[in-house]
Amino acid sequence: MYIVMAAEIIAAMFAVFGLYCAIKILAQRIFGSDRIIWAVEFKNKKDAEDAEMLIRESMGVFLSTKSCRVAALVDRELEGDEELMSILHRYGLDICIVDRKGDSVCDGS
């Protein structure tokens, strides 16, 4: 008697877990979190010095969402900053060079 009841409880738990997984997959397909892009803007040397911390914090925001992307908006003055660019490439961010006129060039890497 108790074995049958325990088996029914375990089966119900698996059913609830399966329903949860199905709803989560369906929600990701419908609401498409792959379209979410989190942007980090680097305007000056101070931002470049804090690049590691800014990137980690921004990536932590979407840690649970595996399909989002983080982009770096880099001021044209910082384009030659080797240390900043190596950090951005190490984290695999999409890099967009932005000048003060509002024009931008994104390399997608």
pLDDT tens for the chain, residues 1 to 109: 788 888 888 889 989 888 888 887 777 777 765 566 777 888 888 888 888 888 887 777 665 555 667 788 888 888 888 888 998 888 888 888 887 765 656 655 4
Fold adopted by 33-109: Transcription Regulator spoIIAA (3.30.750)
Domain residue limits, the chain: 1-31, 33-109
pLDDT of residue 33: 56
* Residue 109 pLDDT: 46
Predicted model pTM: 0.57
User: Is 106 within 8 Å of 84 (Cβ atoms)?
Assistant: no
Got the DSSP string for 8-23?
HHHHHHHHHHHHHHHH
Percent composition of the chain: helix, strand, coil (DSSP 3-state, to 5): 55, 20, 25
Distance CA 34, CA 11 (A): 34
- Reference 72, options 36, 35, 33, 106; nearest CA is 106
> How far is it, in rounded angstroms, from Cα 105 to Cα 74?
10
